[in-house]
Amino acid sequence: MASQSAAERANAHRRRTLGLRQDLTSFWFLLPILAVFVVLFAVPLAQTIIYSMTDFNGYSLNMHYVGWKNYHSVFTDASTMQGLVFTILYAVAQTVLVTIFAIPLAVTLNRKFWGRNFARSLFFFFSVPSLAIMGMVWKYIFSPMKSGVFNTVLGVFGLGPVPWLSNSTLARCCVIFIAVWAQIGWHATLYLAFLQSIPEDLYEQATVDGASSRQQFVHITLPQLIPGIVTSSFLLMSGGLKVYDLPYTMTKGGPGYSTYTVTQSIIQQGIGQSQYGLGSALAVLFTVATALVVFAQMGAASLISRRFQ
């Protein structure tokens, strides 16, 4: 009896040490990413939160606690607010527009026609070059001078040069237009993947029942694409909120602050002008906003996927 329990105890001990050893191995594999997390995420985020409540300017060593003053300044600063407005406008507009155009494009690219592979590759290729570079090139295309491409084309029809990027509304439209142009192909490819996983017999059945192709699109294709729409709009929304490259290289945030973005504001005020407190307060608010959007979309996604499966 006693010997049996001793054996059991020994066994349990062996199991425990084995478990510990496995914990340790698992720990070694996780160590690099933990280091990355501590150095690149946890410590800097904590510092951002601390800076956001101080008047720290990067040089003087004695910083003072100022409470919510920086947060107050964020909401009363006109340029920051304009950056916020444009960032939200950009994120929402690109999400809606890319979705509206990418789905029909994907449906068309899914049908058979001559030159299909070429068209698929070409549309996808627009998203491969850096948006920063494309922003600079489009600046020349939208040049307000007569030699700008758009104004040359308009000139052919006898229309005067349009001040594309020097008018606030037009500049905003131009930036969003390019974002849509660059991302349609990528998202169409994403939708294509979802389209190809729709069972063919759904359509066959509908054809037998006499449904028109428009009816088939509304009642079969769209509902089946909902997981795709969730993925795509998630990427567009979270990417849109982080936008910096495109408006910065195209317009530098101008004219005025009409295409200013939150990220540009963080970089310019926080690093450029050494207003660490203000920049950090903005960064904290930005993190919270992004996290809310991400979690809201994750929640929506799980709700939707539960409903459709």
Partner 1 sequence: MSSSKSPTLTLSQRERQRSAVRSLVVLIIALICAVPLWYILINTFKTVPDMATNPLGLPKQWTLRNYTRAFATVPIVRSLVNTLIVTFFGVLLQVLIGALAAYGMILRKSIFTSVIGVILMIAFVIPTQSTLIPLYRMESSVGLVNTLLGLIVMYLGGAVFCYFLIVGYMQSLPFEVIEAARIDGAGPLRIFWSIVLPLIRPILTTVVVFQTMSTWNDFMTANVFISSSNLRTIVLQVYNAVGQFSTDWPSFMTITVLALIPVFVFFIFCQKWIVSGLVAGAVKG
Number of residues counted as binding partner 1 (CB under 8 A): 92
User: Would you give the binding string for partner 1 spanning residues 269-298, x where CB under 8 A is met?
Assistant: -xx----x--xx--xx-xx--xx--xx---
* Least distance in angstroms from the C-beta of 112 to partner 1: 6
- Rounded CA-CA distance 182/131 in Å is 8
Residues numbered 230-259 forming contacts with partner 1, rule: CB under 8 A: 231, 241-242, 244-245, 248-249
- Rounded CA-CA distance 104/110 in Å is 10
For position 131 contacting partner 1 by CB under 8 A, the verdict is yes
For position 7 contacting partner 1 by CB under 8 A, the verdict is no
Residues numbered 67-126 forming contacts with partner 1, rule: CB under 8 A: 108-109, 111-116, 118-126
Q: Which tokens belong to 114?
A: 């001559």
- Rounded CA-CA distance 210/107 in Å is 20
- 3-state class of 25 per DSSP? helix
- Which of the stretches 4-12, 66-74, 162-170, 182-190 binds partner 1 when contact is defined by CB under 8 A? 182-190
Torsion (CA) 163, 167, 172, 174 in degrees, nearest 10: 0
Residues numbered 186-225 forming contacts with partner 1, rule: CB under 8 A: 186, 189-190, 192-194, 196-197
Residue among 82 and 189 whose Cβ is closer to partner 1? 189
- Rounded CA-CA distance 64/217 in Å is 61
Q: What are the residues whose beta carbons fall under 8 Å from the beta carbon of 238, sequence distance 6 or more?
A: 290, 293, 294, 297
Q: Which amino acid is at 111?
A: R
Residue among 258 and 269 whose Cβ is closer to partner 1? 269
Residue among 89 and 289 whose Cβ is closer to partner 1? 289
- Rounded CA-CA distance 141/135 in Å is 10
For position 306 contacting partner 1 by CB under 8 A, the verdict is no
